[in-house]
Structure 1
Amino acid sequence: MSNLIHSSEAVLRLNDPNTVFADVRFVLGEPSAGYAAYLQGHIPGAVFFDLNTDLSGPKEIHGGGHPLPDPVVFAEKLGQAGIDEGKEVIVYDDQGGSIASRLWWMLKHAGHEKVKLLSDGFSSWSQAGYPITNEPSHPVGTKFSPQINDSLQATITEVKAGIGQEQRVLIDSRIHDRYTGEDTSKYQKAGHIPGAINHYWEEGSPSGVFLDGIHQRERFKDISVDREIIVYCGAGVTACPNVLALTEAGYNNVRLYVGSWSDWVSYEENPIATGEE
């Protein structure tokens, strides 16, 4: 079953009491822009989740730029948003799924299976003339009971242990010049985790539309479907669209390294590679 849903199908769920739309728009470098966009117009009834305050925990020395929030706190926010195990959640953004897929992954990690990404995003919804409102939603609160599935994430210890192992594939989801180390502007160290291959996340959603499983499989045709895959990015956000893409492509053993590069370089002793693998 696909993790994607197109606007033309999603609009039929607008009055479904068992469906919750979740707006996860966010602009890196402009932390208030996502909520401002939500207030200007959103899918009727949609609840808003902020990447920094709802989908991330406090930053520490280690753990990366967007560590996971406390699972109890996250579960409470889901309940306040009207999300429980019986609801289907449709997540959307306007950034090619780069932010919404973080919520998709977090819900999966929390044990919630009924979640889909709006594949063509909010702009397509709006351009199609589907309903939009600027009225904030007032969801009826419920209780979400998390069933954490830690098999969906990889620890830094597991990432280290996998370096050089033929059966394990490490995917760096960042833009190519950050992977090679040519771009030194973002983090205190440039390059990638030794052995990682580069698949830039945005190639999975050209023009802002998330590709279906057949096209995603073509993207990753260099990787056997029976391999164990660990995906990372800069801070554990834009790796998520690659996790979703791999899942759509039929890969069943895919894990997210939540801390990602920002966590990796916080340890002075961790090895770094530059250039092409």
Structure 2
Amino acid sequence: MHKFLKYLGVAACALLAGLVLARTSTHAASKESHFVKEDQQVTENTYYITAKQAQQFKEQNPNAVVLAVAYGKVPGFSKGHIPGAVQMSTNDVESQAAKWNLLDASQLRKNFLKKGVTADTPLIVYSPDISAASRVAFAAYYLGVKNIKIIDGGQQAWKKAGLPLEKKSVQPKKQTDFGSNTVAHPEAYIKTPADLLKAEKKNPDLKLVSTRSWKEYIGDISGYSYIKETGEPKGSIYGRVSKSSSDVAYLTNADGTIKDPKAELAYWAKKGITPDQEVVFYCGTGWRACVPFFLAKEEGFKNVQLYDGGWYQWNMEHKKDPKKYPVQKGEPGTKNFKVETTVSAER
């Protein structure tokens, strides 16, 4: 009898735990919201699409190229990937030698041509990391690829949609003519700190938006193993995009899909970051800032740009000329806020 009662007690506890877990899971799922929807109208100005929309896009565009993106090799690519996908490393669009900025346009063209991409190629990009996918997509946009799509949620979303994967390796159909030797969107790209100063001089109302984490923004941490110094370019606005240097967590759900940005857009508006303003996003070296770049474009921001040099390059210039490239630390409007126009030994 004792064993039987003990069994009933364990069973009851298990049932209660299951109910609590189910309720918690349902509550968590109810908190999820989505920017990308199955019923959205997909045009050339739509960048983030669902997995099913990507499948339809492939069917409607037999010459489409699918790029699976990561820093280096794509994890698990040989065990299964989206049919027809070829790998592209973020090192094909940026390099340490270039201070992690985009490579020069001629080299970018060569690297995209090797993957079969021209200005007229319908392009699908996906990655385990939405920032990596958006980084490569931005390079393609900058050059002039006219129809770019990024799969919201990457391969995980593809599998969740019940779409097939393949294991066979696909060789890219290399191209020789990109279609243009002129960069299509120079207006979207601010490369160096000097270029940023020119843009700010031209428009003093420019909104320079940091997509870095709060601790990075106030100067508690740099966020990078290879950057010792902390801070932000003077005048930057906290954009509430990242929780660490490796995510854009305020913009995404747990599964990596993009949240409904209503709350973020409202937060931005309070900071003066609105569609009618000239808005420049940046982070440490360019990855994270590419996500809100495309999000803002889809939300009707007419003059949105990427400052690619980010904190990494601004810090380099500050150490050479701190008066020209001042650094801010702390939360603006508080007693802890300060602007450094000399190189601090504490940095």
TM-score when scaled to structure 1?
A: 0.87
Q: Is the 8 A contact 1:216 1:245 kept in 2?
A: no
Q: Is the 8 A contact 1:188 1:265 kept in 2?
A: no
Q: Is the 8 A contact 1:213 1:248 kept in 2?
A: no
Partner SS for 1:102: helix
AA at the equivalent of 1:79: L
Written as runs of structure 1 = structure 2, the 5 A alignment for 1:171-182 is 171-182=209-220
Which of 33, 48, 57 is residue 87 of structure 2 equivalent to? 48
AA at the equivalent of 1:275: G
Measure, in 1, the Cα distance between the counterparts of 2:189 and 2:300: 18
User: Relative to total residues, which structure has the larger helix share, 1 or 2?
Assistant: 2
Counterpart in the other structure of 1:29: none
AA at the equivalent of 2:277: R
AA at the equivalent of 1:153: Y
| CA apart distance, 1:264 | 0.5
Partner SS for 1:23: strand
Written as runs of structure 1 = structure 2, the 5 A alignment for 1:124-273 is 124-142=157-175, 143-146=177-180, 147-148=182-183, 149-154=185-190, 155-161=192-198, 162=200, 166-184=204-222, 186=224, 187-199=227-239, 200-201=241-242, 202=248, 203-207=250-254, 208-211=256-259, 217-218=265-266, 220-222=268-270, 223-267=273-317, 268=319, 269=321, 270-273=325-328
Measure, in 2, the Cα distance between the counterparts of 1:179 and 1:164: 25
Which of 24, 46, 50 is residue 69 of structure 2 equivalent to? 24
CA distance 1:119–1:219, change in 2 (3 Å): farther
Q: List per-residue Cα deviations over 1:148-185 (Å, max 9, x = no partner).
A: 12111124224234289652100111111011111146
Structure 2: give runs of 5+ residues left out of the alignment: 1-44, 243-247, 333-347
Partner SS for 2:292: helix
| CA apart distance, 1:45 | 0.7
Output the aligned Cα RMSD. 2.2
| CA apart distance, 1:128 | 2.5
| CA apart distance, 1:36 | 3.6
**Which gives a bigger RCO, structure 1 or 2 (Cα 8 Å, sep 6+)?**
1
Count of aligned pairs between the two proteins: 265
CA distance 1:219–1:141, change in 2 (3 Å): farther
Counterpart in the other structure of 1:85: 119
Q: Is the 8 A contact 2:121 2:146 kept in 1?
A: no
CA distance 1:181–1:81, change in 2 (3 Å): same
Q: Once structures 1 and 2 are overlaid, which stretch shifts more, 13-22 or 261-270?
A: 13-22
AA at the equivalent of 1:167: D
Q: List per-residue Cα deviations over 1:121-171 (Å, max 9, x = no partner).
A: 211112222111222212222231343121111242242342896521001
CA distance 1:120–1:160, change in 2 (3 Å): same
Partner SS for 2:76: helix
Measure, in 2, the Cα distance between the counterparts of 1:173 and 1:215: 16
| CA apart distance, 1:73 | 2.2
Select the structure of larger CA radius of gyration.
Answer: 2
| CA apart distance, 1:58 | 4.5
| CA apart distance, 1:69 | 1.6
Counterpart in the other structure of 2:52: 8
Counterpart in the other structure of 2:25: none
Q: List per-residue Cα deviations over 1:212-246 (Å, max 9, x = no partner).
A: 57666445333222111111100111111121121
Q: Once structures 1 and 2 are overlaid, which stretch shifts more, 257-266 or 140-149?
A: 140-149
Q: Is the 8 A contact 1:56 1:69 kept in 2?
A: yes
Measure, in 1, the Cα distance between the counterparts of 2:260 and 2:112: 28
**Structure 1: which 4+ aligned runs deviate by more than 4 Å?**
163-166, 212-216
Counterpart in the other structure of 1:73: 107
Measure, in 2, the Cα distance between the counterparts of 1:108 and 1:216: 24
Measure, in 2, the Cα distance between the counterparts of 1:50 and 1:135: 19
Measure, in 1, the Cα distance between the counterparts of 2:96 and 2:223: 23
Which of 268, 271, 274 is residue 329 of structure 2 equivalent to? 274
AA at the equivalent of 1:35: V
